[in-house]
Chains A and B, each alone.
Chain A
Amino acid sequence: MTTATPTATDRLHALDAARALALLLGIALHASMSFFLPIPVQDPSASTTLAVGFFLIHSFRMTLFFLIAGYFGHLLWQRLGTRSFLRDRSRRIGLPLLGGWLLLAPVSIAIVIWGLTRSGVPSELAQSSPADQGLPLVHLWFLYYLGLFYLATAALRALWNRLDPSDRFGAAIDRALAWTLRRGLAPVLLALPAAAVLALDPGWRVWFGIHTPDFGLQPQLPASIAYGSAFAAGWWLRRQGSFLTDLASRWRSQLLLAVGLSALALLLVGPRPNLFDATTLAGGEGRRVLYAAVYALSGWYWSFGLLGACQRWLARPSARWRYLADASYWIYLLHLPLVFGLQVALRDWPLHWSLKFPLIVGLTLVALLLSYRWFVRGSWIGALLNGRRKAPGLAVEVAAVATPDTPITAVVPDEQSQLAELRGVRKRYGQTVALDGLDLQVRPGELLAVLGPNGAGKSTAIGLWLGTLRSDSGEVRTLGGDPTDVHSRLELGCMLQDVRLAPMLSAREHIDLTRRCYRDPLGVDECIELAGIGDFAERRYGKLSGGQQRQVQFALAICGRPRLLFLDEPTVGLDLPARERLWASLRQLVAQGRSIVLTTHYLEEAEALADRVAVLAGGRLLAEGSVAQMRELVSRTRIRCLSDVEASTVRQWPGVVEVSAQDRQLQLTASDPETVVRRLLQTDPQLSRLEVRPANLAEAFSELTLEAA
Chain B
Amino acid sequence: MITRAMVALVRKDLYLYRWLIVGTLVGGMLALWLSDLDGNVSLAGHILLVTAIVVLGVILAVHGPLSERQAQSYSFVLSLPVSIGQAAAARVLGSLSGFLLAWAPLLLVVLTLHDGPSGELAWFVGLMVFLLANFGLLLALTVLGRNELWSVTGIVVSNTAVPLFQLLALPALTRGADGELAWTPQLFLTLSGLLLAAALALGLALLFTSRRDVS
Contacts and interface: CB of A to CB of B under 8 A. Distances in A.
B5 A1 contact: no
B89 to A, nearest CB: 12
Nearest to A462: B78
B12 A513 contact: yes
Contacts of A519: 4
A419 to B, nearest CB: 16
Contact of B71 (A489, A490, A498, A513): A498
Given A486-B82, A517-B8, A504 B16 contact: yes
A484 B83 contact: yes
Contact of A494 (B4, B72, B79): B79
A693 to B, nearest CB: 39
Contacts of B75: 496-500
Contacts of A553: 76
Contacts of A504: 16
B178 interface: no
Interface in B54-79: 67, 70-73, 75-76, 78-79
B65 to A, nearest CB: 15
Contacts of A494: 78-79
Interface residues of A, number: 37
Interface of A is mostly: loop
A162 B71 CA distance: 44
Contact of A501 (B11, B76, B213): B76
B81 A468 contact: no
Nearest to B73: A500
A516 interface: yes
Interface in A443-480: 466-470
A673 interface: no
Interface string A530-572: 0000000000000000000000010011001000000000000
Contacts of A182: 213
Contact of A517 (B70, B72, B82, B84): B82
Contacts of A560: 81
B18 to A, nearest CB: 10
Contacts of A486: 3, 5, 81-83, 86
B214 A1 contact: yes
A495 B76 CA distance: 8
Nearest to A250: B211
Contacts of B3: 486
Nearest to B79: A494
B40 interface: no
Contacts of B72: 498-500
Nearest to B5: A517
Interface in A170-215: 182
A352 to B, nearest CB: 42
A518 interface: yes
A557 B80 CA distance: 8
A513 B83 contact: no
A439 interface: no
Nearest to B82: A486
Closest 8 CB pairs of A and B: A500-B72, A1-B214, A517-B5, A516-B8, A494-B79, A489-B81, A496-B75, A513-B12
16 contacts: A1-B213, A466-B78, A484-B214, A486-B5, A486-B81, A486-B82, A486-B86, A487-B81, A489-B82, A493-B79, A494-B79, A499-B73, A516-B4, A553-B76, A556-B79, A560-B81
Given A500-B67, A513-B11, 17 more contacts: A1-B213, A1-B214, A469-B214, A470-B214, A486-B5, A486-B81, A489-B82, A496-B78, A500-B70, A500-B73, A509-B15, A513-B15, A514-B12, A516-B7, A516-B8, A516-B11, A517-B5
Interface of B: 3-5, 7-9, 11-12, 15-16, 67, 70-73, 75-76, 78-84, 86, 213-215
Interface of A: 1-2, 182, 466-470, 484, 486-487, 489-490, 492-502, 504-505, 509, 513-514, 516-519, 553, 556-557, 560
